[in-house]
Structure formats: C-alpha cells, structure tokens
Amino acid sequence: MVNRFSRRHASWRGMALVLVSGLFLAACADNPPPGDPDDTSEGVSTGQGDGSVETREINERGLLGIDEKDRAMFVDPDNPLSTRTIYFEYDSSTIQSRFRDAIQAHAGYLADHPDVQLRLEGHTDERATREYNVALGERRAESVERALSLAGAGSDQLSTLSFGEERPAELGSTEAAYAKNRRVELIYVAR
C-alpha cells in the first residue's frame, strides 16, 4: 500500500518535471508578442488526477527533496514527520505546543540529512490586505524556521516563502476555512 503510494508519487514527480521543462521550452522557443498573455512569468504546474488537490499537492511538491526510501515516514500517520502543515491562530505567528513533536522530528531529520533542503511556505486567511498578508505569512514561516533551527536543523537547510492569502488550502469565507488557511507548509525541495 505504502509502496504503491510512493510509486504513484514518483510518477507524478516525473510528470511535473516534464511539465515544468515543457513550459520552459515553450517560453524559450516562443518569445511572446507585446500584450500576449503567454508565460511572461514562470509557471509551475501541479499534478493531475483524482482526490484532494491540496493533499496530493503537498505530498507531491512537499517531498520532492526526500529520498524515495524515506518518503514512507512522511506519510505514515503515526510518524510525527507526517505532520507537514503548522496551523496558526488569527493574526498570530506563534507556534502552538501541539506541533512541538513535529518540529522536533523534522529538525531531527534535517540534522541527520544535511543535504536536504526545507522551504517553509507561509499562508494567511483572506482577511486584511494582500501585501500585508504576504508579510504576515512571512512571519509565520520565519517563526517555524527559527523553531527548527533551535531544534537542530542547519540554517542553510532552511528557507522561507510567503504567499499571503493567495493560495488558500480551502476556499470560502468561513472561520473553518480561515483556520485551514492560516498555515505554514513544510516543503522538502529538490536540490
């Protein structure tokens, strides 16, 4: 079951890489005319298929930097490494204690694998203005970065990126949706 899961991810990864390469090729080959909408900014395509978009996306994007043999740990619900999203209170960047084990586990894994890179992607709910939320998401990402660093991860293994409110995990203007959107995602990026 686990193996099959991993294999599926491996295939998605390959597909994503193909897509990315394709886009790059397209961009290089076809210099767009003025006013043409096509690809003046790099796009990263995500995988396709059934199931929950964001779960699949995190599993896929978030584990690209993990050796295939280790990926099972990151999807085992009993393993604290499977917790790869840290949630926050409204207008707060304080890490709640329930995420302590996960922070410790990821910091430990990073310490054991100095070549592995982790990107912390900050997000907010849709309230307040967009650029302010970019800053708030950055703060959350930095908060997690600091915690991991204190727990043993090398600072050169960590980076942050904030999307603000632009990439909600769940659409809608409800408190439940907001709670799911105030988060930092741990993305193990490919070297």
33 lies in the site for another protein, by CB under 8 A: yes
Query: Of 75, 139, 149, 151, which one interacts with another protein (CB under 8 A)?
Result: 139
Torsion of CA 152, 153, 154, 156, to 10 degrees: -160
25 counts as binding another protein under rule CB under 8 A: no
**Which residues in 93-122 contact another protein (CB under 8 A)?**
119
Nearer to another protein, 59 or 162 (CB): 162
Told to check if 149 binds another protein by CB under 8 A, we report: no
Interacting residue with another protein among 1, 4, 42, 69 (CB under 8 A): 42
Of residues 66, 168, 46, 23, the one with CA closest to residue 183: 168
CB 183 within 8 A of CB 123: yes
Residue 180 one-letter amino acid: K
Q: Which stretch binds another protein (CB under 8 A): 2-10, 106-114, 165-173, 178-186?
A: 165-173
Nearest approach in angstroms of CB 151 to another protein is 20
- Binding interface with another protein (CB under 8 A): 20, 32-46, 48, 53, 119, 126-132, 134-136, 138-139, 159-164, 166-167, 171-173, 189
